[in-house]
Amino acid sequence: MLSLLLFQCSTFTAAAVDNVLQNQAVNGGVINQNIVFVDLKTDHWAYEAISDLSKKGYINGYEDETFKPDNSITREEFAKLIATTFYLDIPSPKAPSYYDVQTDKWSYPYVEAAKDFLTGYYPPGGKAFFSPEIKATREDVAVALVKTLGLTTNDLTNKNILDRKFKDVSKVSYGIRDYVAIATERSLISGYEDGTFRPDKPITRAEIATLLYRAIKTSAKDQGDGPLLKVSVPEKTSNSTVYISGTVSNNAKVTINGKDVTKIIDGQFKEGFKLEKEGSYELTIIATLSSGKTNTIVKKVTYEIEGPELKIDDIPETTSSQTISISGTVTDKNDSFPTVYLNDEKIHGSNYFSKSDIVLVEGENILVFKAKNSLDKVTTITKKITFTAGGPTLKIDEIPETTNSQTISISGTVTDKNDSFPTVYLNDEKIGGSSYFSKSDIVLVEGENILVFKAKNNVDKVTTITKKITFTAGGPILKVDDIPETTNSQTISISGTVTDKNDSFPTVYLNDEKIGGSSYFSKRDIVLAEGENILIFKAKNSVGKVTTVTKRITFTAGGPILKVDYIPEKTSSSKISVSGTVTDKNDSFPLVYLNDEKIGGSSYFSKYDIPLKAGENTFVFKAVNNLGKSSTVTKSVYYQK
């Protein structure tokens, strides 16, 4: 672990980044054991750490012989220190982990290499960012040191150490407090005299030198216990050369399957091992101290040449379509034209493949894609798609909930992903076999009618829509022409009209006597009785519904109209003649009486040579009709000789 903490930043220059700790040897590559920095006095609090590390060549100053202990460094500069010091693999992934450190930035490979030790920031729902150019803080460095020592939060023994030591513990980022606590517990980092930790304070070159110095001393291991040895080997590889990397105690020798590792720098090594053919290999890594103490680690690695790289474009997990199309790409290092199979059927032999109109069965369908190269290496991808054949999409045009028409017409549309001509039924009677359907003159029964529409496709999936319509058969529309409320005529005539939605010829009755059987009705010479007469009109349709209209007419039979021709009031004649007219609405031949003697029985009456007596003569004319109604006219004639 000691060597993990040594700075090996030989790629930095003071001109490019003037505040990064450097492991650049001076005087043409010879480490100067008597380095004196003009700005660093022996009483400086970090003198011992800076002096010791600079003598060992782990850190260096600037060309003007200064160290600048109070200068700070940025997060990206610290990332490079971690990456180069700990001999991390320097990757160059195509996609950056942080949106603010793109592939064209100088620090991109180092930030990617060190991201397990110096992490970025991950806002909920947003893109991760690194903030490369802000200053590295004390808490950043504390966490990085703990992680590079291979410690985890499980190594923390005193969970209350931060609360006990620092009064500003609340300022330490919540998610990394256990790492800061381990750094405090292991004396890798300490606080200030005022009892604060100051987690967000930028770290200085002097502080980093001191922290490294402490970490080196903390990680040092007694050689009597055997050398430190940590090894990293991939479990599987598709390359014929596998790389074994690790950490070992200083001055220890390392062998891999008996072969010496020749390049160990500050306890770090990375060695390639040639694999001759596919299969499993056992690698024995032995570290040996000068004292003879050893430490052995056995690793196993499987060498297997990869099959083609197969990518399938998105396939939904579920669908209601019976046919689907698939596509994808296939590439292979060893074969320009790998063959692709779908469920053992060859579908293509180049980089891009596709197949349309794949018929699915109801339920789960398993699609096994295989790509096979010229070396018979196969890559398999299995996709599952569940086909649930839904019923047709059935739409019924508007049907009223209630109607007084006995017949209705219906219409609608039906579509189906899997059938161009689904069949439509109404109450189990086929009414259509295409996208549009209709049916007219559907006869309803009185009351609630249930209309069950079913659409069935060629895979026997059914969609059902139920409609309810209540038929309330109203009576006919009956209109009676005006009838007066009173009359002095004994006979009247009536007329009117009748219509019905459900019957072209409703029957009309007057006081239960049938008087009509079509849209127009009439009746003449209806004889009225003296007084109030009730006329009840009924119209009845074919479904037995009746509409009633009641009329009342009062017949008041008046007497005849009696007119007597001129009679003088005085006369000297002994005889006179009388005449006149009589009419009656209800009697063509009313009787006329003169002083109770019948003198006429028609519209004109007369009597001649009626003798007069001397003095006043009274003539009482009386007309009586066949209803017994009478009219009286009295005349007086005075006779004087």
Please state the φ and ψ torsions of residue 170, each to the nearest 5 degrees.
-65, -20
The CATH homologous superfamily to which domain 393-471 belongs is: Immunoglobulins (2.60.40.10)
Band of residue 290 on the pLDDT scale cut at 50, 70, 90: low
Q: What is the mean pLDDT of the chain?
A: 85
Instruction: Give the right CATH number for 561-639 from 2.60.40.10, 3.30.230.10, 3.30.70.260, 3.40.190.10.
Output: 2.60.40.10
Output the pLDDT for position 219. 57
pLDDT in tens, 375-410: 888 999 999 999 888 889 999 999 999 998 889 999
pLDDT: which is higher, 265 or 508? 508
Q: pLDDT tens across 467-517, in order?
A: 999 998 888 999 999 999 999 988 999 999 999 988 889 999 999 999 988
Half-sphere exposure of 259 (CA within 13 A, CB side): 9
CA distance 14 to 73: 13
- Could you read off the pLDDT of 578-589 as tens digits, one per residue? 999 999 989 889
Cα distances (angstroms) measured from residue 69 to each of 136, 182, 200:
15, 26, 18
- Backbone phi, psi, residue 217, to 5°: -70, -35
Q: In 10 A of CB 342, how many CB atoms?
A: 19
**Mean pLDDT across the stretch 207-229?**
67
> Measuring CA to CA, how many Å separate 36 from each of 18, 54, 66?
18, 9, 8
Helix (H, G, I), strand (E, B) or coil at 52: helix
- Given a cut of 50, whether residue 139 has pLDDT beyond it is yes
pLDDT digits (tens, 9 = 90+) for 591-639: 999 999 999 888 999 999 999 999 999 999 999 999 889 999 999 999 9
**Cα angle: 279, vertex 280, 281; to 5 degrees:** 120
515: helix, coil or strand?
Answer: strand
139 C-beta neighbours (distance < 10 Å), count: 23
Q: Are 265 and 233 in contact (CB under 8 A)?
A: no
Burial (CB count <10 Å: 0-12, 13-18, 19+), residue 69? buried
State mean pLDDT over 335-343.
Answer: 91
List all residues 6 or more positions away from 510 whose beta carbon is below 8 Å from its beta carbon. 494, 523, 526, 535, 536, 537
Q: What is the pLDDT of residues 540-571, one digit of tens each?
A: 998 889 999 999 999 998 899 999 999 999 99
Q: Which fold has domain 311-387?
A: Immunoglobulin-like (2.60.40)
SS3 (DSSP) at 170: helix
Q: What is the pTM of this model?
A: 0.38
Res. 156: pLDDT tops 60 = yes
Q: Three-state SS for 28?
A: coil
**pLDDT at position 346, please?**
92
In this model, does residue 66 exceed pLDDT 60? Answer: yes
Sheet containing 323-331: give its strands across.
309-312, 323-331, 352-359
Q: What is the CATH number of domain 223-303?
A: 2.60.40.10
Could you state, in order of their start, the residue ranges of all structural domains in the chain? Answer: 2-219, 223-303, 311-387, 393-471, 477-555, 561-639
Higher-confidence residue of 171 and 82: namely 171
Tokens of 203: 């770290």
Q: Is the pLDDT of residue 15 over 80?
A: no
pLDDT value of residue 16: 32
Residues 6+ apart with CB under 8 A from 28: none
DSSP reduced 3-state for 79: helix
Q: What is the pLDDT of residue 87?
A: 65
The phi and psi torsions of 371 (rounded to 5 degrees) equal -115, 130
The superfamily in CATH containing domain 477-555 is Immunoglobulins (2.60.40.10)
Residue carrying the six token digits 């030989």: 10
Distance in angstroms (rounded) separating the CA atoms of residues 623 and 628:
10
So what's the pLDDT on residue 533? 96
Q: Are 23 and 8 in contact (CB under 8 A)?
A: yes
Decide if 262 contacts 254 (C-beta within 8 A): no
Q: Do 170 and 140 form a contact (C-beta atoms < 8 A)?
A: no
User: What's the farthest any 2 CA atoms get from each other in the chain?
Assistant: 197
pLDDT tier for residue 86 given thresholds of 50, 70 and 90: low
Least confident of 47-56, 322-331, 399-408, 585-594: 47-56
Q: What is the DSSP string of 528-597?
A: PPSEEEEEEEEEE-TTS-EEEEEEEEEE--PPPEEEE----SEES-SEEEEEEEEE-TT-SS-EEEETTE
Q: How far apart are CA 81 and CA 133, in angstroms?
A: 15
Q: Compute the distance between CA of residue 74 and CA of residue 19 in angstroms, rounded to an integer.
A: 9
Side chain identity at 34, as an amino acid letter? N
Q: How many residues does the chain have?
A: 641
C-beta of residue 371 within 8 angstroms of C-beta of residue 338: yes
Mean pLDDT along residues 205-219 = 75
- 6-15, 246-255, 269-278: which has the minimum mean pLDDT? 6-15
Q: Taking Cα atoms as reference points, which of 398, 394, 467, 465 lies closest to residue 435?
A: 394
Q: Contact, 355 vs 342, CB < 8 A?
A: yes
Are 486 and 554 contacting, i.e. CB atoms less than 8 angstroms apart? Answer: yes
Give CA–CA dist 540/506, Å, rounded.
Answer: 6
Burial class (CB in 10 A: 0-12, 13-18, 19+), 242: buried
Q: How confident is the model at residue 34 (pLDDT cuts 50, 70, 90)?
A: low
Cα–Cα distance measured from residue 46 to residue 282, given in angstroms and rounded to the nearest whole number = 47
User: Within 10 Å of residue 630's Cβ, how many Cβ atoms?
Assistant: 15
Banded pLDDT at 251 (limits 50, 70, 90):
low
Residue 601 φ/ψ region, left for φ over 0, alpha for ψ in the -120 to 50 degree band, beta for the rest? alpha
| Range scoring the smallest mean pLDDT among 148-157, 165-174, 568-577 | 148-157
The backbone region for 195, taken as left when phi is positive above 0, alpha when psi lies in -120 to 50, beta otherwise, is left
539 neighbors 478 (Cβ within 8 angstroms)? yes
Backbone angles phi, psi at 408, to 5 degrees: -135, 165
- Tracing tokens 């002097």 back to the chain, one arrives at 206
**Residue of 14 and 220 predicted with greater confidence:** 220
pLDDT at 218: 63
User: Does pLDDT of 345 surpass 80?
Assistant: yes
pLDDT-above-70 percentage for the chain: 91
The amino acid at 74: T
* 170 CB-side CA count, 13 A: 1
Q: Is the pLDDT of residue 365 over 90?
A: yes
How large is the average pLDDT for residues 292-318?
88
> Does residue 104 register a pLDDT over 80?
yes
Q: Could you tell me the two tokens for 117?
A: 């030790």
Q: What is the percent of the chain with per-residue pLDDT over 90, rounded to a whole number?
A: 48
- Cβ of 156: how many Cβ atoms within 10 Å? 19
